[in-house]
Structure 1
Amino acid sequence: MAIVTGAGRGIGRGEAIALAAAGAKVVVNDLGVDADGGGAASGPADEVVDVIRAQGGDAVASYESVADWAGAGRVVARAVEAFGRLDVLVNNAAVVRQHKIEDATEEDFDVMVGVNLKGTFAMCRHAIPVLRRQGGGRIINTSSNQWAAPLGNAEYALSKGGVTSLTYALAWELQNENITVNAVAPFALTRMTADQAERDAARIAEGVMSERRAKAKEPRAEAGLVAPIVVYLASDHAAGVTGRVFRAGGAKIGMYSHPVETRTIFREENAGPWPHDELVDLLPRTVLVSDTKAPHIV
């Protein structure tokens, strides 16, 4: 039995339908908001439930906002009430507002961090006690490559970076509980990415993105092509896979390495803090030796 949040459209829709096709009963959670978090409608969740039932599966709708702490609890309760248990949680719900840092408002910050990060945390918080009582389960979070390869839009990037950190933390905490926790950083053609080419052109014109990087970006394919890695991570075949972040979309599935410390300098602890002059001399020749420019960003 699976919950998929943000399952009314795009990537979440494909995940919900694919999990149902694989035999899962599904709670299709979607508040029905616009891509920027405005509005609300029951139609998107209801339509996906109808598709799953028409294909012989079993699904129910949930219209709760995951950014509401109590609402997230009601999503989990809906699963248990409808199907008697919970095995898989897919945290896909997200919103985005595109702008530079100086144009961001407190509301922009609260909405994006509220849905993308708080919503993921709240769903995990309410689902994990159920999974523990049942003896195990799967959690699959939705991150973004903006955690690793920034494109501006700072509050979105920080919310998805937080999801990545949460994934690592919960995988460690639950490693002996038979509960796996992984994340997927998808790329697909959705409402959030429909104007990607125009935004990239603007970044190039502003000098914050090179044409080389724009050309190197993966082409965005149909959103449903992200679903296979999610179905795999939800299956018994992935029982030993946890604390991983995958990149998936189109014909590609990849995996990120965990951040590691790459260069280090030392001094005797009893010698006190590093003198500024020593750092000025040492850092460019050691820790920063190949990082005078950051090609992965530009």
Structure 2
Amino acid sequence: MTGIADGRVVIVTGAGRGLGRAHALALAAEGARVVVNDLGVGLDGGPGNGDPADRVVAEIRAAGGEAVAHGGDIATSAGAASLVATALEAFGRLDTLVNNAGFLRDRMLVNLDEDDWDAVLRVHLKGHFLPLRHAAAYWRAEAKAGLVPCARVVNTSSGAGLSGSVGQGNYSAAKAGILVLTLVAAAELKRYGVQVNAIAPAARTRMTERTFAETMAAPASGFDAMAPGNVSPLVVWLGSAASAGVTGRVFEAEGGRITVMEGWRRGPSADGGARRTAAEAGETALKLLAQAETPGAVYGAQ
């Protein structure tokens, strides 16, 4: 198999189903050797059925590609370290990390308990940080040894991280944190030949069944805009050498649409040159708000 990712060694976390599976298959089809990570847990992080990572590896191998499975918990330092070690032991190197693992525990804020908050922050945000930290340590060592990497990281945020989502305070906070982690990592790791970007995908997966209930069904014919595989070409490109020079960026991807997100930028501003009273601060704030753009709606808001 040859293509845009020919010869690259790629890790994809949460690759047993949905978007992760689609990314792993697409990367392998473009010539990458893939480490398929998945714990095989249920939608809420509880016990699941079977071993989806092995099934995806079998799919890749049946199509003529190369892949190995990893079933460790990447939200632990030991699991993340063994993930990188698996790539090095199986294929001798690591070129690209696609952070994708996650699950949901949706509750309105007044019903969201501490365990549900901690579990979702752990798998999404910590589950991005630890693989990134261990991969970055490998690439830094390579760079210091004079072997300048052509390394890539693709993180997975969400529209919930960009705009918020009613009933998903824990998930939205985690996905927003991933965006800022992406910016920091891109700035810190550039010197080692590492590019770090993020996507905010929308597609048909078991995590989005309730969010996109009205648009989930695949059409009888024609273009299926909600198919997970629609997101994967952008991930493949960002994870390849062809994306040289692109780092610290966030892309929305849904169906046939790709959007570059521009993030927080300074809007209207006023400097009075001295401390204001509370009333003066409020008057200034209202004047600035009248000049500012109206923010986008939170998903699910009435």
TM range (shorter): 0.7 to 0.9
Segments of structure 1 that go 5 or more residues without pairing to the other structure are 201-218
Deviation at 1:280, TM superposition (A): 2.2
1:192 aligned to 2:207? yes
1:17 — aligned with what?
A: 25
| 1:222 matched to 2:224 | no
Q: Deviations over 1:138-169 (max 9, x none)?
A: 00000101122222211100000000000001
- Between the aligned partners of 2:28 and 2:251, the Cα distance in structure 1 is 22
1:168 has 2:183 as partner? yes
**Aligned equivalents of 2:271, 2:286: Cα separation in 1:** 15
The answer for the alignment partner of 2:115 in structure 1 is 107
**CA distance in 2: counterparts of 1:179 and 1:150, whole angstroms:** 29
Query: How many Å separate the matches in 1 of 2:238 and 2:277?
Result: 49
Report the AA paired with residue 258 of structure 2.
I
- Aligned counterparts of 1:41 and 1:101: Cα–Cα separation in 2: 30
Residues 9 and 44 in structure 1, CA contact (< 8 A), matched pair in contact too: yes
The 5 A counterparts of 1:127-276 are: 127-132=135-140, 133=142, 134-136=147-149, 137-152=151-166, 153-197=168-212, 221-268=226-273, 271=274, 273-276=275-278
SS in 1 for 2:199: strand
Identity of aligned residues (%): 42
1:28-82: CA deviation from partner (whole Å, max 9, x where unpaired) = 0000011111114552000000000001111000001111121111111111111
Q: For residues 274 and 239 of structure 1, what CA distance do their matches in structure 2 show? A: 48
1:288 aligned counterpart, secondary structure: helix
TM-score (norm 2): 0.87
In the alignment, the residues of structure 1 paired with residue 188 and residue 212 of structure 2 have an alpha-carbon distance, to the nearest angstrom, of 40
- Given the alignment, which residue of 81, 84, 101 partners 2:92? 84
Amino acid at match of 1:265: A
2: distance between equivalents of 1:86 and 1:21?
Answer: 18
Residue number in structure 2 paired with 1:289: 290
Say how many residue pairs are matched: 276
Letter in 1 for 2:250: V
Letter in 1 for 2:290: V
* Separation (CA, whole Å) in 2 of partners of 1:111 and 1:279: 39
Check the 8 A contact 2:268/2:292 in 1, yes or no: no
Structure 1 contact 189–222 (Cα < 8 Å) conserved: yes
Question: 2:231 & 2:283 partners in 1: Cα distance?
Answer: 47
The two structures have a TM-score, normalised by structure 1, of 0.88
Whether 1:279 and 2:299 are equivalent positions in the alignment is no
Return the alpha-carbon distance in structure 1 between the equivalents of residues 256 and 214 of structure 2: 24
Stretches of structure 2 that go unaligned for 5 or more consecutive residues are 1-8, 216-223
In the alignment, the residues of structure 2 paired with residue 293 and residue 26 of structure 1 have an alpha-carbon distance, to the nearest angstrom, of 43
Structure-2 change in CA distance of 1:63 and 1:150 (3 Å): same
Structure 1 runs of 4+ aligned residues shifted over 3 Å read 197-200, 290-295
